[in-house]
Amino acid sequence: MDLRLVGHPGDPEAGGSSCGCGRGCGDGCPPWAALGLGLARHPDDALVVRRAVRDRTGEVVDFRCEWANETAERNAGRPLRGATLRESYPTVDPALLSLMRRLLESGGSADTEFALSDDSPEEVLRGRVFSSFLTAVDADRVVCQYRDVTELRRAERALQHQAAHDDLTGLPNRRALREHLDRALARLPRGSRTLLLALGDLDGFKEVNDTLGHHAGDEVLQVVAERLRHAVRPQDLVARYGGDEFCLLCEDVGEQHASALLERVRRTVAQPLRLTGGQRVRVGITVGHVATALPVPADDVLRRADAALYERKGRARA
């Protein structure tokens, strides 16, 4: 935010009049309305002046709105003047209140971002995200200038998801797998069990593609992806490694559980499936896996899993 407070609005340096607005209107002007003039360069920004509400001990328990511009009230979907922060935003993050208290104590300012809960009782407020600049202008008042960045954050999340996931199956892609694997290996020294990485290649997939076409092949990949999700534990990762290859990353597994999981994966994938065109097809999966209890480099783990996969495929062809 570009809002800057130079001196106190009641100081001649801040506006040249007793109220601070620079218009010579005297004491009848809302004391902080002068700050609204700063919105000329940012007409879409909201501006609110909030005064501390204190309990009998002098502790700040909330902040009441003394002045708000039209943008602020439009964002809130209701009048703000006279209402406390909790009354205006029932699901406000308590951390925002704590920050505003600290600003009163320090006389400082802060850039922050706050989000309203998706369960907010008012639909207009659900999931809204605001980027804000807060400044304490005296021992009781905080000026809040903010803008709605909800759509921007949604677009950013969508781009991040797209960069880390396969478009066809919705599974994490190879890049995301590598990031998860790096983190999982880094956690190994703190555990007593092993990490399992399994790389699987579909058997019979090329025949489906060649005889029924790529649309049928895409549908098979989508069905297999869903079956793999259900074959593993909720905390395990299933990723599309590329083409007709899938990867499973499972933390904190013992040898017996690993064997049972891999057998369940093979049985689940091998079940016949009916395509939307009515054709019944069947594919299988060959899996190579590696288990490690040591934080070895991720490239080594992937290389060993790949070698184990092709060794198994070689044995199946022999």
Q: Which residues are catalytic?
A: 244
Is the four-CA dihedral 148, 150, 151, 153 of positive or negative sign? Answer: positive
**Taking the C-alpha atoms of 10, 133, 93 and 138 in order, what is their torsion angle to the nearest 10 degrees?**
-20
How many Å apart are CA 28 and CA 81, to the nearest integer?
Answer: 17
Please give the structure tokens belonging to residue 312: 């198994």
Beta strands (DSSP E) in the chain are 46-54, 60-68, 109-115, 129-136, 141-148, 194-203, 237-242, 245-253, 273-274, 280-281, 284-292
Long-range contacts of 29-32 (CB under 8 A, 24+ apart): 30/66, 30/67, 31/66, 32/66, 32/67, 32/137, 32/141, 32/143
How many Å apart are CA 60 and CA 241, to the nearest integer?
Answer: 54
Please, where are the H alpha helices in 253-297?
255-270
Nearest alpha-carbon partner for 129 in 141, 139, 121, 120: 120
